[in-house]
Structure 1
């Protein structure tokens, strides 16, 4: 398995995080996520976001779904990154070699403290 720093740097290349690993808290999943289940979940969540007129979230879910549908593997790994005003949830290939898709958001400090 790759180190947290290697995974962070891979994610950083994908989403252009501005700070270094020490400026964030990072959690890696111990389990695996089934690609087909995630596709079903995020299609439903995208529909809900669209009905609630949260078009920014619906667009992020569309991009995540494209990555999930293009991925040929069955299982994925997950990582969450928390920063002062940032939260990102990332799905990576089972071998931690590639970012498949992600959702990210700016958050205020109160929400951040509830996440950790």
Structure 2
């Protein structure tokens, strides 16, 4: 089983997070997420982002949807990472070997 530090390092490689694990709060979800349900949820959220002219968010959701659609598994793990300047939601393969997709934002 992967440690929180292993998962953080995997995510850090995928999105080039600055700093170290101690600079962030890392929370792993207790459960699993069904891929098909996430696809439905993020299609709706992407539509809302487009309607509200949040183009950067809509683009991130589109990239997340591509990752979810390309993932061959049915379950994913969720991870939230944040600090004073950053927040990110990440979806990993069920075995935590791969980042499937994510949403992130820098806080001003």
Do both proteins adopt the same fold according to a TM-score greater than 0.5, normalized to the shorter chain? yes
CA distance in 1, matches of 2:88, 2:54: 17
Q: Cα RMSD between the aligned structures? A: 0.6
5+ long unaligned stretches in structure 1: 109-116
CA distance in 2, matches of 1:30, 1:65: 22
Counterpart of 1:59 in structure 2 is 59
Q: How many residues align?
A: 108
How far has the Cα of 1:81 moved from its partner? 0.2
CA distance in 2, matches of 1:46, 1:101: 14
* Mapping 1:44-83, distance limit 5 Å: 44-83=44-83
How far has the Cα of 1:88 moved from its partner? 0.3
How far has the Cα of 1:83 moved from its partner? 1.6
Structure 1 residue ranges (4+ consecutive) displaced by more than 2 angstroms after TM superposition: none
Matched, 1:85 2:72: no
1:35-84, Cα deviation, whole Å (9 max, x unpaired) = 00000000000000000000000000000000000000000000000122
Give the SS at the match of 1:6. helix
Length-normalised TM-score, structure 1: 0.92
Length-normalised TM-score, structure 2: 0.98
Counterpart of 2:10 in structure 1 is 10
